[in-house]
């Protein structure tokens, strides 16, 4: 009981430190990426904090899986390095005795990963897509940030405003460059405002400006002044949620519309808790280390296994999405193979004193080699005597 309590505290402490480091690194990376999108005019600057929160929620399952895996590996590696495992084995205990306390620590983590993967992450992706879509479908003029050139959603106009007032509905010192086939026109105005008609059409109404059309220097170049000029900027009110990606659909929605795209996404969601459980069990035999050697090799190997396993899961998802494999035959073989690897590693560690264990064979070969070197030396001494 004392051992289990101490182990639970150490696992929780190691997991907390690992999660803090991983979450901080990924949060910083997410912050940089979203700020770059905001600076490039792809998302609204007011939505940055919300998008960072949604993106962080999307990354939580991967962070928690890696946290649990590294925490168990690091704890068992430290026990080997400090010779605590020698005392454990000398007292008649087996490596299998670590399974129960490790599962006590890991099963709540697996349940949390399952909840995040199946429920929370799709919701976060849906909200993130809605925020992005809402900005992309805003009226062209409302997407413009004062002092910056912005392209319209139809890619045929470029807007520039010096400043905006009244919640960005009224802009001042407007510049609009439009291209329609071979025709090119430039409109400058002192003020502009968005108006909507009863059919859903949206217009940019400019006042006190000038319009130039054609190529300067040619005979068909035109210039005109106006007090009021209307320019259509959207044909109808945008409908949000019509272009949500498959990854943003809820799990019941995926089950209600089975096809290769939804089944591929479902495979990735159900794989997350399975990967978490398998890796936590794999960490027990993987944590072995020679007390006289360094322990960094175990962590490097753990990272390689984690990324390889995740990439193989993504490969299975891609095979289902491309129609190369059915969902029923794609989700379980990889996990079954990893479970067999876990069982093989346990058998290898439990049979460490067996006759045919690689370490036993290696030590036997070294003893025979040393004995073979000692025999000629003894014969040389007898000849000299």
Residue that is written with structure tokens 């005795």 in the block = 97
pLDDT at 16 over 70: yes
Q: What's the chain's length in residues?
A: 385
Q: Residue 383: its pLDDT value, please?
A: 55
| Of 268, 264, 334, 270, residue with least CA distance to 305 | 334
* pLDDT more than 90, % of the chain: 25
The residues spanned by each domain of the chain are 2-135+247-369, 141-234
The per-residue b/e assignment along 291-314, b for 16 or more CB within 10 angstroms, e otherwise, is: eeeebeebeeebeebbeebbebbe
pLDDT 10s digits, 147-162: 677 766 666 677 777 7
CA distance 44 to 121: 22
Q: Which of 81-85, 146-150, 190-194, 343-347 has the highest mean pLDDT?
A: 343-347
* Banded pLDDT at 240 (limits 50, 70, 90): very low
Strand residues in 84-182 grouped as ranges (E): 150-151, 157-165, 170-180
Neighbour-count burial for 234-249, b at 16+ CB within 10 Å, e otherwise: beeebeeeeeeebbbb
47-73, pLDDT tens digit by residue?
888 889 999 999 999 999 999 999 999
Q: Are 284 and 94 in contact (CB under 8 A)?
A: no
- For the record, the structure tokens of 81 come out as 């390095």
List Cα–Cα distances, 62 to 18, 106, 114, 224, 225, in angstroms.
13, 14, 11, 60, 60
- Tokens representing 143 are 């997407």
Q: Quick one: pLDDT at residue 161?
A: 75
CA 186 to CA 199: how far, in whole Å?
27
pLDDT tens-place string over residues 246-289: 888 888 988 888 888 889 999 999 999 999 999 999 999 888 77
* pLDDT tens per residue across span 320-336: 988 888 888 888 899 99
Q: What is the pTM of this model?
A: 0.70
Please, which residues have CB within 8 angstroms of residue 153's CB and are 6 or more apart in sequence? Answer: 136, 137, 140, 143, 234
Return the minimum-mean-pLDDT range out of 47-51, 178-182, 351-355: 351-355
Measured between its terminal Cα atoms, the distance across the chain in Å is: 64
Strand partners, 172: 163, 191
Residue 374, pLDDT score = 62
Is residue 221 within 8 A of residue 214, CB to CB? The reply is yes
């Amino acid at each position: 009981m004392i051992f289990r309590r101490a182990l639970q505290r150490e696992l929780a402490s190691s997991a907390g430190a690992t999660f803090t480091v991983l979450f901080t690194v990924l949060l910083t990376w997410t912050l940089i990426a979203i700020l770059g999108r905001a600076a490039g005019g792809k998302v609204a600057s007011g939505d940055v904090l919300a998008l960072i929160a949604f993106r962080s929620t999307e990354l939580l399952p991967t962070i928690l899986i890696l946290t649990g895996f590294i925490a168990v590996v690091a704890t068992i590696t430290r026990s080997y390095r400090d010779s605590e495992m020698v005392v454990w084995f000398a007292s008649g205990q087996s490596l299998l005795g670590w399974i129960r306390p490790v599962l006590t620590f890991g099963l709540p983590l697996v349940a949390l990963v399952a909840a995040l993967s199946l429920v929370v992450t799709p919701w976060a992706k849906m909200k993130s897509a809605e925020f992005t879509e809402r900005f992309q479908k805003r009226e062209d003029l409302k997407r413009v940030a004062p002092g910056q050139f912005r392209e319209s959603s139809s890619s045929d106009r470029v807007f520039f405003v010096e400043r905006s007032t009244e919640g960005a509905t009224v802009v001042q010192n407007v510049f609009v460059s439009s291209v329609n086939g071979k025709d090119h026109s430039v409109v400058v105005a002192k003020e502009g405002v968005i108006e909507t008609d009863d059919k859903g059409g949206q217009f940019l109404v400019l006042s006190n400006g000038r319009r130039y059309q054609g190529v300067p220097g040619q005979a068909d170049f035109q210039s005109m002044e106006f007090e009021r000029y209307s320019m259509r900027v959207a044909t109808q009110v945008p409908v949000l949620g019509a272009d949500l990606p498959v990854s943003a659909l809820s799990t019941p929605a995926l089950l209600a519309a089975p096809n290769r795209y939804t089944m591929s996404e479902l495979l990735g969601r159900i794989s997350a808790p399975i990967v978490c459980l398998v890796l936590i069990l794999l960490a027990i035999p993987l944590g072995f280390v020679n007390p006289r050697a360094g322990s960094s090799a175990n962590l490097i190997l753990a990272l390689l296994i984690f990324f390889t396993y995740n990439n193989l899961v993504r490969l299975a998802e891609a095979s289902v999405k491309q129609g190369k494999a059915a969902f029923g035959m794609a989700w379980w073989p990889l996990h079954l193979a990893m479970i067999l690897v876990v069982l093989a590693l346990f058998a290898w560690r439990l049979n460490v004193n067996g006759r045919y264990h690689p370490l036993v064979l290696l030590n036997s070969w070294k003893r025979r080699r040393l004995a073979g070197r000692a025999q000629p030396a003894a014969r040389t001494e007898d000849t000299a005597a």
